[in-house]
Amino acid sequence: MALTLFVENLTVLDCSLLSADQGIQGESWRVDIELDGELDQQSMLLDFGEVKKQIKRHIDATLDHTLLLPGRLPGLLIEKEAEQTRVVFDHSRFGFESSGPAQAYSLLDCEAITAESVALHLQQLILPLLPGNLQQVRFTLVNEQVDGVMYQYSHGLKKHDGNCQRIVHGHRSTIRIFRNGERDRQAESAWATRWQNIYLGTAEDVTGYTEHQIDFAYSSNQGHFTLRMPAARCEILDRDTTVEELARYITEQLHDQHPDTEWRVQAFEGIGKGAIYRIPPRR
């Protein structure tokens, strides 16, 4: 009889995904894992610490901070060249175009990107890397449950040294807003609605703008990135879209509307991390 080891909260997968119904969405999943197998000569299934690191490294190097694409979605075109991959989604409301280095996009053999299809993809990626005494691996991807609202945004951070520089990656995040020390759930709901399935762009990255679409482009140390998005799905900020700047941006917007109020914003970037910004009332 096989034994099963489990690891909860192995890592967090932050990414964007393409949905037929919603277009590009930011997403954050907590990743849990179970491994089935037989005991080795040490009366163990595996070296827990090393295998956890190995699996996390592989997730970070493949799906994390990429745009997940369902390969069997009608209207999706992917063109691969020597140094660039071009992605086009033909849709009346949610169509977009993007190009960048191949590692910025993850193509899955499925009709829709769901927690289950991503878990199956991870299973197929990871099982061949594990020791021979392991017979099966199962992944479970879980959305964070919070006391409040959540929004899903995508962005790209061209100044970042790591994978955050990819032009379409994202997060599912909660937000806590305090007005004079008290939780303001109405303000939280307003911002969650405003930023639901949004692309947050930086003004200096805009290369073209019409009533219907916005073009973005920048170069970073991983390569050159471009994105064309429906204008209705974008908000352009006068700053970088790091979580620190997003917390400051939201707080400043609230303070501009109600300057005699103390505002404190706790903005999350995915699960369990984020930034806090506070502006005291005007005297």
Distance CA 177, CA 238 (A): 22
Cβ atoms of 113 and 17 closer than 8 Å: yes
Q: What is the pTM of this model?
A: 0.95
Q: What's phi and psi for 225, nearest 5 deg?
A: -125, 145
The number of domains in the chain is 1
List the chain pLDDT tens, one digit each, 283 residues: 578 888 899 999 999 999 999 999 999 999 999 988 777 766 666 677 777 888 999 999 999 999 999 999 999 999 998 889 999 999 989 999 999 999 999 999 999 999 999 999 999 999 998 877 778 899 999 999 999 999 999 999 999 999 999 999 999 999 999 999 999 999 999 999 999 999 999 999 999 999 999 999 999 999 999 999 999 999 999 999 999 999 999 999 999 999 999 999 999 999 999 999 999 998 7
Any idea what the CATH number is for the domain that residue 250 is in?
3.30.479.10
Question: Which pair of structure tokens corresponds to residue 211?
Answer: 């009533």
Q: Which residues contact 130 (CB under 8 A, 6 or more apart)?
A: 35, 46, 51, 137
Q: Where are the alpha helices (DSSP H) in the chain?
A: 48-61, 115-126, 185-194, 243-257
Q: Which domain holds residue 175?
A: 3-279
